[in-house]
Structure 1
Amino acid sequence: MTDKIAVPGVTIKELSSGSHPITAAGTSTAAFLVTDAAGGKELLTYPADPNDDRTKSLNAKEKAAVKGFFDNGGSHCHLVARGEVSGATAVANLKMKNVQIIAVPDSALSTDKALLNALATHCKDMGDRMLILSSDQGAMTQEMEKDPLNGVGITGEFKEFTAFYHPWVKPVGAGTGLGGNKVPDTISPVGHIAGVWARVDGERGVFKAPANVALNGVTDVSLALAPDKVGTLNSVGVNCLRVMPGRGVVVWGARTAAAADTALADWKFLNVRRLVCFLEASIKDSVQWAVFEPNDERLWSSLRRDIGAFLTSQWRHGALKGATAAEAFYVQCDQTNQDSNQPGTVFCNIGIAPVRPAEFVQISIQQLTS
């Protein structure tokens, strides 16, 4: 209905475009499983106050991990109680919306199998988060060098939602302090790694592999790794930490724990798995408006337009590979892929070409005769 205009002149009326833009989901909020989380699912934000009551109950390794997270670029993290050995309480506490990174700063692969398995299963079930694990202190056994999670029991598709790092690191100020504030000599790197993920997400995007990045707040690794050992571990999905001259401790790997599983070759790289988690969460959260809309071409067209615009923006940012948007992705939602036997269901098929990291750079040098 046209509004009645009483005064001569030009009148402008703004109309809705009818579009429903896809809002980018978060990628870098961490949840640390701790032995005593005062208040439960408490959220800490950068900069963290060392005298905050929520951190006073943490043990030394947990405090160092939280500090490492913030030192390396993290801005938001939850402290979640571990609960009993089975991990049931931990999983129940983790079922919050805005968490994409999970780590257990003070855990042991040998004694916390049930908890770590529960967390890996939780990440797979939720589909929008990943678990960061590390080796135990010291060298890895020969069995672990073949399959780092073999002794833990995390297998198959659950590995693609898990990232594994080795070795431990020496934090700044190691050995200083008194009582519960004494800085440990060595710690698991999971808190620092979570911070690196957050830093790379903010500086480049979740599509960028979180590797070839120096760790802040550490002075050395607990165990130096020879280049051939790094190569061996990398092939089975162990992301190594190395000391580089002039750079300090550097993350030298960006694979999931499923890297050696040929059946899961699509999920070999950490940034690919996290990118797809991000895209799925963004699209899922942003198309809720479509539920109960008339299931016809108008709805299909709207979904194609909105999802296509979002993926186009991701392609322009460098997340998807292709000289054109058509090479980078497709969105199919039309009469050709709807099921007449399920009239109440909209089918929207999406294909993407994620960018994979250049792990190996080969340079050939040839002498030219004069």
Structure 2
Amino acid sequence: MPSYSTPGVYVEEIPVFPPSVAPVATAIPAFIGYTETALGKQGEDLTKTAVRLNSLLEYQACFGNPPVQDMAITVNKRVTAGGKLLGVAVSWTSKPSLPTQFLHYAMQLYFANGGGPCYVYSVGAYGNATKVAFTEAIAALEAVDEPTLLVFPDAVKLSDADYGSVVDAALASCNKTQDRFTIADVRNAIPAGTDDNAEVTSNFRARVSSNTADFLKYGAAYFPYLSTNVPFASADANVTLTAFNLITVADNGSEASAAVPDAAGKKLNDASLDIQGKETAVYAAIHAFIDEACVTVPPSGAIAGIYARIDRTRGVWKAPANVGLNLVIGPAVNATNDLQDGLNIDATTGKSVNVIRAFFGKGTLVWGGRTLAGNDNEWRYINVRRFANFVEESVRKAVGAFVFEPNDANTWVKVRTMIENFLINQWRDGALMGAKPEQAFRVVVGLGQTMSAEDIFNGYMIVEVHLAIVRPAEFIVLRFMQKMPEA
């Protein structure tokens, strides 16, 4: 008790609550890619700066709109002999296949699928992607503590070799910080060449270096791209009229076609044509046609949203799988059971690839929950790795309060009790296996248990935490047999 010398009233606050472990956020992705602009509210340059955002509106305010696509169309306008409009037919001369950049669309899918707070790191304005831009961004984000996921959809624009290097850099960074996880796309996972795109996945596995085999547990890969109902960004100045034909239909049904003079090769906004003013019906038909063209994008943005949604509604210990996707029409490649057999489990490299599949009556579902370390018995599941990250980071920050405290039994009891209370809550939520807490986890700290006298002399306090983390029921086997009639 303090010693008082002056008469009076003194207030002493007595601490009642013991120190506790505060759970850290688990689904705060950092998106890396190219943006239209990168300006803050005061006009400051946000290029190569990690910016925290909470909504798509905030993203657009800082980083602008998606890239405008170049398109080419053919227009056939049908009229009667008297000039009455019968209809307008628009067709593609050159339909855009993929967006020139993916980040903006990835952000749309992220927020549509349950995403919340996130970071965006713009590596520059729309243009050609470079490996250095992404590897430097990944290294720079190591100085930002909050992100727990790394997402880089624009990196698929790189070559196979360079993309593999970026994935390697992300996995190495996650291993270094030990508080984040990589969501990677299988590059070019779209219908091309073969029906199943097996060669694309094999190429992905070959490019993710074996030098980072120990780091594979810090990432997951997803296949294929997603066909969405998000339209391409377009502008009249980027729409070329390959042909504009005026077709006159006679009373007997015969047709006479004539090209509109000087229209071929002109842009939709060409002042000499003034289609918007003179051909209102044609202009409206063109835009209605263009708006039906929707983008196909890598899945990482949507998957990051799924991680955030599952973490918020169930917990980080729940596998982010068997979950439907919003704003998605379906996978760009329809995977079969035979195809997924080779993607989910790869005995040679162990690099599991999670498949997104369409099921009749169920929609488009994430149908895999493995890390790239598919042959690792400890870390083959995403939820196990991410829950371990969550516990490690939460406990690490909480134990920091005991730095320079006396390294004695009193402190050890406080630390052990603090961690045990935290893990009991996780066990009650369903994150740990066991009918009783002692079956779910064990916390050990003390002289002769985790530390020697020399450890204590050198200032080390060593705590061991043993966890029985729940694993997903990946293969559910139902066994049926007939029961013989009894007399």
Shift of 1:82: 4.0
Deviates more, 1:336-345 or 1:213-222: 336-345
Q: How does 1:276-315 map to 2 (within 5 A)?
A: 276-315=388-427
Distance 1:51 1:338 in 2: 53
Structure 1 counterpart SS, 2:470: coil
**Corresponding residue for 1:126?**
177
Taking a change above 3 Å as real, the CA distance of residues 266 and 170 of structure 1, as seen in their structure-2 partners, is same
Give the alignment partner of residue 162 of structure 1, picking from 198, 214, 219: 219
Deviates more, 1:43-52 or 1:294-303: 43-52
Shift of 1:173: 3.1
**Corresponding residue for 2:65?**
56
Residues 74 and 195 of structure 1 are in contact (CA less than 8 Å); yes or no, is this contact kept in structure 2? yes
Q: How does 1:331-342 map to 2 (within 5 A)?
A: 331-336=443-448, 337-342=450-455
**Corresponding residue for 1:25?**
24
**Paired AA for residue 231 in structure 1:** D
**Corresponding residue for 1:41?**
50
**Paired AA for residue 29 in structure 2:** A
Distance 2:8 2:295 in 1: 80
**Corresponding residue for 1:328?**
440
Deviates more, 1:89-98 or 1:20-29: 89-98
Distance 1:285 1:266 in 2: 24
**Is 1:186 aligned to residue 296 of structure 2?**
yes
- Cα offsets for 1:243-283 (capped at 9, x unmatched): 012222100000000013xxx32000000000000000000
Residues 447 and 453 of structure 2 are in contact (CA less than 8 Å); yes or no, is this contact kept in structure 1? no
**Corresponding residue for 2:365?**
250
Shift of 1:46: 2.8
Shift of 1:85: 2.3
**Corresponding residue for 1:214?**
324
Shift of 1:71: 0.4
Q: Which protein is bigger by CA-based radius of gyration? A: 2
**Corresponding residue for 1:68?**
109
Residues 170 and 187 of structure 1 are in contact (CA less than 8 Å); yes or no, is this contact kept in structure 2? yes
Taking a change above 3 Å as real, the CA distance of residues 142 and 53 of structure 1, as seen in their structure-2 partners, is closer
Deviates more, 1:327-336 or 1:77-86: 77-86
- Cα offsets for 1:291-328 (capped at 9, x unmatched): 11111000111111100110111111111100100000
Structure 2 counterpart SS, 1:123: helix
**Paired AA for residue 29 in structure 1:** I
- Cα offsets for 1:188-223 (capped at 9, x unmatched): 000000000000000100000000000111101111
- Cα offsets for 1:149-172 (capped at 9, x unmatched): 322326311111110100110111
**Corresponding residue for 1:240?**
355
Residues 33 and 155 of structure 2 are in contact (CA less than 8 Å); yes or no, is this contact kept in structure 1? no
Distance 1:238 1:114 in 2: 18
Residues 324 and 363 of structure 2 are in contact (CA less than 8 Å); yes or no, is this contact kept in structure 1? yes
**Corresponding residue for 1:259?**
374
Give the alignment partner of residue 97 of structure 1, picking from 129, 145, 152: 145
Residues 85 and 115 of structure 1 are in contact (CA less than 8 Å); yes or no, is this contact kept in structure 2? yes
Deviates more, 1:122-131 or 1:166-175: 166-175
Distance 1:291 1:171 in 2: 51
Distance 2:147 2:366 in 1: 23
Shift of 1:140: 3.7
Q: Under a length normalisation based on structure 1, what TM-score does the superposition of the two structures give?
A: 0.89
Shift of 1:42: 1.5
**Residue segments in structure 2 that go unaligned for 5+ positions in a row:** 39-45, 68-99, 125-129, 191-195, 240-289, 347-351
Give me the identity figure in percent. 29
Structure 1 counterpart SS, 2:52: strand
Of Structure 1 and Structure 2, which has the larger fraction of its residues in strand? 2
Shift of 1:368: 4.4
Distance 2:394 2:361 in 1: 39
Taking a change above 3 Å as real, the CA distance of residues 355 and 277 of structure 1, as seen in their structure-2 partners, is same
Q: Under a length normalisation based on structure 2, what TM-score does the superposition of the two structures give?
A: 0.69
Distance 1:215 1:143 in 2: 23
Distance 2:200 2:323 in 1: 29
Taking a change above 3 Å as real, the CA distance of residues 125 and 51 of structure 1, as seen in their structure-2 partners, is closer
Give the alignment partner of residue 186 of structure 2, picking from 135, 139, 147: 135
- Cα offsets for 1:114-149 (capped at 9, x unmatched): 32221111111010111111112235444844x843
Provide the aligned C-alpha RMSD in A.
Answer: 2.8
Deviates more, 1:86-95 or 1:165-174: 86-95
